[in-house]
């Protein structure tokens, strides 16, 4: 089941073409995990500066957030964040089952199911996220 590669003296960055489903699952899980950490710190930084900057006036804070929501790029970033979070959660639950020894022989199928379910949830969310922006 496991594969090894002769990488030679210099790393062959073209190896991604040979990646199996399990390797893509590993790459996507790492990527989404660290994007979520990045978002978490950005989110805390924005809110912890926007709240004091509003100087106790809730309308300034609300106006700042409404201004952000008016930007189409922010709406698309929100859809992207949902995609990243949903995939990480679904694939993470799948990994926890694998850790428990459940579904070991259907790991590729459960990874594809995570991808398809993520895609379906994200597509279904688009009208809500883009409402009023276009
Ligand atoms: C229900 C929600 C979540 C579930 C079920 C989940 C599940 C998991 C699991 C099982 C792993 C270990 C994967 C492995 O075996 O290598 C993992 C890794 C990780 N998760 Fe989550 N996670 C969740 C939410 C989050 C959130 C909210 C964040 C960030 C704010 C996050 C960040 C990470 C990071 C950074 C890693 C390590 C990635 C790596 O470098 O390998 N996760 N997650």
Cα separation of 90 and 99, whole Å? Answer: 14
Instruction: Name which residue sits closest to atom 43 of ligand 1, judged by CA.
Output: 92
Distance of CA 70 to the CA centre of its chain: 22
Q: Which residue's C-alpha comes closest to atom 36 of ligand 1?
A: 33
Mind listing the domains of the chain with CATH numbers?
Answer: 21-130 (1.20.1300.10)
Are 22 and 107 contacting, i.e. CB atoms less than 8 angstroms apart? Answer: yes
Full-model pTM: 0.88
Question: Tens digits of per-residue pLDDT, 34-62?
Answer: 999 999 999 999 888 888 888 888 898 88
Token pair 């950490």 in the structure block, residue:
37
Spatial separation of the C-alpha atoms in residues 22 and 25, rounded to whole Å: 5
Say how many Å lie between the CA of residue 31 and the centre of ligand 1.
10
- In terms of C-beta density within 10 A (0-12 exposed, 13-18 middle, 19 or more buried), how is residue 88 classed? buried
What pLDDT shows up at residue 51? Answer: 84
Residues near ligand 1 (Cβ within 6 A): 29-30, 33-34, 36-37, 40, 88-89, 92-93, 95-96
pLDDT at 72: 95
pLDDT tens column, 68-117: 899 999 999 999 999 999 999 999 999 999 999 999 999 999 999 999 99
């Amino acid at each position: 089941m496991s594969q090894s590669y002769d990488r030679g003296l210099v790393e062959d960055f073209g190896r991604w073409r040979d990646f199996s489903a399990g390797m893509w699952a590993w790459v996507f899980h790492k990527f989404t995990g660290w994007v979520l950490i990045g978002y978490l710190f950005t989110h805390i930084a924005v809110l912890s500066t926007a709240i004091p900057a509003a100087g106790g006036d809730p309308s300034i804070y609300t106006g700042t957030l409404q201004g952000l929501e008016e930007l189409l790029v922010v709406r698309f970033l929100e859809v992207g964040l949902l995609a990243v979070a949903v995939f990480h959660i679904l694939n993470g639950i799948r990994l926890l089952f694998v850790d428990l020894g459940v579904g070991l022989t259907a790991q590729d199928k459960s990874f594809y199911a995570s991808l398809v379910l993520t895609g379906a949830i994200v597509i279904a969310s688009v009208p809500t996220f883009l409402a009023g922006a276009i």
